[in-house]
Amino acid sequence: MIKIVKRDQPSRAIFFLTPVLAIFLTLLAGGLIFYILGFKPFEALKFFFIVPIADMYGFSELLLKATPLCLIAIGLSFCFKSNNWNIGAEGQLTFGAIVSGGVALLFYEQEGFYILPIVILAGAIGGMLYASIPAILKTYFNTNEILVSLMLVYVSKLILDYLVVGPWSNPEGFNFPETRQFSDSARLPLLFEGLRIHAGIFLALAAVVISWFVFYKTYLGFQMKVSGFSLKTAKYAGYKGKKMIVLVFLISGACAGLAGVGEITGPIGQLHREVSPDYGFTAIIVAFLGRLHPVGIIFASLVVAITYLGAETAQIFMQIPKYTGQVFQGMILFFLLASDYLLFFKFKFIGSKK
Amino acid sequence: MNTNLKISNVTKIYPGCVANDNVSLEFNSGKIYALLGENGAGKSTLVKILSGVVIPDEGKIYLNENNLKLNSPSDAKKNDIGMVFQHFNLFETLSVFENLIIDSDEKREGIREKIESIMRKYNFSIDLDIPVLNLSAGQKQKVEIIRCLMRNPKVLIMDEPTSVLTEQETSELFLSLKQFSEEGILIIYITHKLKEVMDLCDEVAVMRRGKLVSVSEIKNENIESLANKMVGQNLKIIKKKKVKTSSDQLIKITNLNFTSEDPFETNLSDINFSVNRGECLGIAGISGNGQSELFQVLSGEIISDKNSIEFNKNYIGDLNPQERREYLMAFSPEDRLEQAAIPQMAIFENVALNNFKSSNFFNNGLINENKIKEHSKKIISDFNVNTDNIELKSQFLSGGNLQKLIIGRELITSPDLLICFNPTWGLDVGAINYIHETLIKINEQNKSIILISTDTDELLKLSDKISVIHKGKLSKIMNADEVTSEKLGILMGGAN
């Protein structure tokens, strides 16, 4: 007989093993779904997870997709670790893209080394501004940040829609919903000839290092953590708890905004309707799959990025809708949450021992 | 008609603990039974089983030889088992009458007369048409009791009913309970207060760690014998030596006022007192009379007028808690899990919450983890915290160990003044003794304490001077050897 027993304390090994278990279960369940749909499970999984990254181009695409996911997830980890549920990174990404895109358009057909830094900074500020709305409403008016940040996503997408169709649309663009192409000085440089991977990856890596340092090594990080767990405790310790909440939102907004900059100044080079295939939402899964730890988030962003690529290959070679990618993302989160049960409980086989 | 309630071989296992281990008990109407035990002894679980809230893993319950199936609270009600919980289940904004009829399935007409006749019979006087939020704790409890009585219960279970009552309200409650008992209602009284058992009950069942350890008649017991059964060892009795306190003034509060924007908080008006070195000032009161606000004003969580608090010849009313700590003040708040410590963080991280410039926990904005860990190890060994793993999340410490850690964290820097709020609330007797000894010790070292507590016995044991807080106002300060718990009770109720 199997009995479920509560652990005396959560197992540290299990803490890092459950994401692996979740990925394994996702593959298993994915294989099963393919089988039910009438495909050979192994072949389908191969198309989904191996074929897309089998060549250099595929690998560059993987890094290209992983970059925004990693960047946003790092930002979100600040919020989530301090119990602030910012669900609106997609909106912060979009707004960051709008602001940086607007600045890039100001420099239309101009050249100069100073343009790119300004464009990048504008994106970060845009994301921060947008994230400050739920933060301030939460700290000073007790609103729920989940609802506010989520609803603002749709607002930002509509603003973008309005801009690319209306005032910012390309005058020579035959009424396509897109802006003019940014000048080369406003674009993130490509790293290799013929591949789409761009310098945005360095922004993501810098974010990883900085976030690790701030959260684990500094007094500021400690105060953020305490304030997130309990404002009452923060007050008792003498910290400025409300400011800490606003700060984590700003950090997370800045990261999402930077991801937006990477999208529009990297491969696309202009603003259009769809700046992001829901990176801001998917990054929530990345953050949790990576256990909110900077190194974990790197791996998680790579794993989840494959689901984007795999969905495209599967659509081309197997005529499966690309939304299968979202099914896989959903399954990863589902199995991760389910296997977290093992953190606190263990199975005990009664009869064999004791 | 006689009622006989039998609990037979009841076992309930929660993950990680056996809450009830093969408990069998028998009760007969006409007597008042005490179920005595420390926090976590399993008495609440047993009572929840009787009231249908918890379903036992094994065992049966018989009422007058009928095997009861209690799968939900409504099953208990159907079987005439009434229960008054420690925390009231009343809708604050509804009127008393509405609260009484809300779960009643009786016909509307005549119900008001029925309630009034119950109130006449037991001499309860409560206005049925005012909202419950205007009632005192004692009156709210009466509403709960009336709600049970409306169903003509055979069994009435009271779970720690006196924790929110004044001395006077307690004796009124006891009179009512005795009256119910005479009328044939079987009364089971759950408590950890020994004196109440001696005053009220006829028989006592003692539980410890999920097991029933003894059933006996009160006339064969005394407070010491019950205490020893409850704790399972012989307790030493702590007494504070009366020493001459100095006249050297440490802290002086002058004309301190606090007006809250939150309607659920209490305003403080015109607080004035002073504490000398080596002295313990106790502040008594029923919870919710401004203790929490007073604590926050003293700790700096609520900032007040600079000149209203003079500490060691400095005016510090406008400083936050961290800044006040630099002047050698220390604070132990009431809420261990939500304020004094963060359960999800490791022990050593919790230690870092009490941070001084001179403690060097954080240098140039960076965490000095070695320093914090070294300091944590010292606290753990100096204050008997029962663990050797400072990386353990503090949620895995028992209440007593967590409180020792908090008190240790606050005291290891040898502050001049410790302000603590209900430091032993919800702890077991062993931990309470340890905390009391520690508090007495720091007075002996000529350090001062402000002890805000709702436990009158604790205050009488530890204080040199006592004042009572009622509706945000302090009574005059009295010498502790001149007051009795009766006198405190009268002041706590608001009389002069």
User: How confident is the model over B64-114, as pLDDT tens digits?
Assistant: 888 888 888 888 888 889 888 877 888 988 999 999 988 777 777 788 888
pLDDT band at B186 (very low <50, low <70, confident <90, very high): very high
- The answer to whether the Cβ–Cβ distance between A237 and B393 falls below 8 Å is no
Query: Is B321 in Cβ contact with A226 (below 8 Å)?
Result: no
**Fold adopted by B4-231:** Rossmann fold (3.40.50)
Contact B300 A238 (CB under 8 A): yes
In this prediction, residue B242 has a pLDDT band, given cuts at 50, 70 and 90, of low
Residues in chain A closer than 8 A to B16 (CB atoms): 5-6, 8
| Cα(B41)–Cα(B44) distance, integer angstroms | 8
Q: Does the pLDDT of residue A353 top 60, yes or no?
A: no
In chain B, residues with a C-beta closer than 8 Å to the C-beta of A5 are 15-16
Compute the nearest-CA separation of A12 from chain B (Å). Answer: 11
Identify the closest residue of chain A to B350 by CA–CA distance: A226
Tell me if B339 and A232 make a contact (CB, 8 A cut-off).
yes
* CATH 3.40.50.300 residue window(s) in chain B: 4-231, 249-492
Name the residue facing A238 among B320, B333, B362 (closest C-beta).
B320
Q: Collect all residues of chain B within an 8 Å Cβ-Cβ radius of residue A9.
A: 392-393, 396
Instruction: Determine the residue type at B138.
Output: G
In whole angstroms, what is the distance from residue B439 CA to residue B436 CA?
5
> For domain A2-349, which architecture applies?
Orthogonal Bundle (1.10)
Instruction: Write out chain A residues lying below 8 Å of B327, CB-based.
Output: none
Pick from B299, B365, B393: CB nearest A220: B365
Q: How confident is the model at residue B171 (pLDDT cuts 50, 70, 90)?
A: confident
A231's tokens: 């404002």
Distance CA B474, CA B492 (A): 10
Q: Give backbone dihedrals phi and psi of B3, rounded to 5 degrees, phi first.
A: -115, 135
- What the block records as the tokens of B463 is 């204080």
Q: What angle do CA A321, A326, A330 make, to 5 degrees?
A: 140
Identify the burial level of B496 via C-beta atoms within 10 angstroms of its C-beta, where 0-12 means exposed, 13-18 middle and 19 or more buried.
exposed
**Is the distance from CB of A78 to CB of A252 less than 8 angstroms?**
yes
Which among A225, A229, A345 is the nearest to B15, CB-wise?
Answer: A345
pLDDT at B429: 76
What is the four-CA torsion angle of B250, B253, B258, B264, rounded to 10 degrees? 60
Residue B161 has pLDDT above 90, yes or no: no
Compare CB distances from B321 to A10, A221, A236 and report the shortest one's residue: A236
- The verdict on a CB contact (< 8 Å) between B344 and A229 is yes
B352 and A236 within 8 Å at the Cβ level: the answer is: no
Which residue in chain A is spatially nearest to B331 when comparing CA positions?
A: A236
Q: Which CATH class is domain B249-492?
A: alpha beta
pLDDT digits (tens, 9 = 90+) for B446-485: 999 999 998 888 898 899 999 999 989 999 999 988 888 8
Mean pLDDT over each residue of chain A, to the nearest integer:
90
Tell me whether residues A9 and B396 touch, CB distance under 8 A: yes
Optimal mutation site among A236, A345, A350, interface B, most CBs of chain B within 10 A: A236
Asked whether the beta carbons of residue B366 and residue A6 sit closer than 8 angstroms, the reply is no
Task: Give the whole-angstrom CA distance, residue B252 versus residue B327.
Answer: 14
CA distances from B347 to B390, B405, B419 (A): 5, 8, 22
Hey, are the CB atoms on A232 and B354 less than 8 Å from each other? no
Q: How deeply is B478 buried, as exposed, middle or buried, from its count of CB atoms within 10 A (0-12, 13-18, 19+)?
A: middle
Q: Read off the pLDDT of residues A90-101 as tens digits, 9 standing for 90 and up.
A: 999 999 999 999
Q: Mind listing the pLDDT tens digit for each residue in A137-196?
A: 998 898 999 999 999 999 999 999 999 998 999 888 888 888 999 988 889 988 888 888
A141 reaches B (C-beta below 8 A): no
Please identify among residues 228-247 of chain A the ones whose CB lies closer than 8 Å to any CB of chain B.
229-230, 232-233, 235-239
Question: Count of CB contacts below 8 A, A vs B?
Answer: 71
| Interhelix angle A294-318/A324-339, nearest 10 degrees | 140
**Residue B258, SS3 per DSSP:** strand
Report the residue of chain A nearest B319, measured CA to CA.
A238
Closest residue in A to B13 (Cα) is A5
Asked if B321 lies within 8 A of A232 by C-beta distance, the reply is: no
Contact criterion met (CB below 8 Å) for A224 and A244:
yes
